[in-house]
Amino acid sequence: MNAEPVVAVVGATGAVGVEFLSCLEQREFPLKRLRLLASARSAGKTMPFRGRNITVEELTPESFQGVDIALFSAGGPISRRFGPLAAAAGAVVVDNSSAFRMDPSVPLVVPEINPEKAAEHKGIIANPNCSTIIAIVPLWPLHKVNRIRRLVAATYQAASGAGAAAMEELRESTRAALEGKPYAHKVLPHPYAFNLFSHNAAVDPVTGYNEEEMKMVKETRKIFGDPDILISATCVRVPVLRAHCEALNIEFTQPMSASRVTEILSRAPGVKVVDDPEKNYFPMPRDASGQGDVLVGRIRQDISDPSGRSVTLFVAGDQLLKGAALNAVQIAELLLPRAAAC
């Protein structure tokens, strides 16, 4: 990998694509050239980066000649078609879709957890699902100290997880509701303003779990390298623009106190403890939005478990940042020569 690689962003005009540019700029990612790739309808648009405007190019099979790192966030079908082409052209693909996550030959990486896996790539590295990342960044330091035996998660997922169009639908439908006007929803399957509903992923008729919930199960096991963790998730879409929240009930192998959990998380990378019972101040989407850390609070003993092995907590994380773009850029940083030298 070149010390100053040529970087391409696929899906540059989407919600995550915009955050890719912001993360690259704010983190002063060293690059020789930045290329912005998107569909034909977006080609010719310009996007600001480091004080100048860069023209968006149409994504084609020939787009990756001379590219060192390709950051993908354009959906599974685009990743499955163009990801292997980019890798064959010599680029390392960091893919934000679900296309390659469970491929045993593709590393699934969260830099705070398994950075060493990035070096095992064969041209493609997968970025985990947003709800998985936001849950496991604080869970991993706990798991290292006292193995997590069972996890029960309930998510409260923002519009940003369904893309820029869903965010706009939330804005427009909320405005219409406040003005007493009808609004025909088009992006999501149910009215969004002042409503919440089960995550809009397909439901398995056999298990009753939807795809989003099973992503949390399968991806957590792969990233932790522990296929025996028992996990159950319920994923819900809520009328929040960005930043997912999750209620996590954790059963450890050995007894674990809430104070010990707080102690461990207070020094964990990528985590910020926000836990003030006196002021009733805990993680909120408005505080998590725009920052890279996962906020953790409501840390308390599970009084329903007399063994003392269970703790409950509440987390909030920016879905567009740590849940997507930031994690991918952190993976790209692992590929740089300076990361290897460190």
Which among 23, 130, 235, 245 is annotated as catalytic?
A: 130
Which among 121, 143, 199, 244 is annotated as catalytic?
A: 244
- Closest to 148 in 3D by CA, of 266, 247, 227, 210: 227
Q: CA distances (Å), 335 to each of 10, 59, 91, 115, in order?
A: 18, 24, 11, 10
How many angstroms separate the CA atoms of 184 and 193, rounded? 11
How many angstroms separate the CA atoms of 210 and 102, rounded? 16
Q: Which residue type occupies 77?
A: P
- Closest to 253 in 3D by CA, of 190, 215, 307, 198: 307
How many angstroms separate the CA atoms of 173 and 192, rounded? 7
Question: Which backbone phi and psi does 10 adopt, to 5 degrees?
Answer: -100, 125
Q: In what order do the strands lie in the sheet with 197-198?
A: 197-198, 230-237, 148-157, 244-252, 310-317, 294-301, 271-273
130 is known as an active-site residue: yes
Q: Which residue type occupies 219?
A: E
How many angstroms separate the CA atoms of 120 and 107, rounded? 7
23 is known as an active-site residue: no
- Closest to 220 in 3D by CA, of 250, 244, 243: 250
Question: Which backbone phi and psi does 52 adopt, to 5 degrees?
Answer: -140, 165
Residues marked active site are found at 130, 244
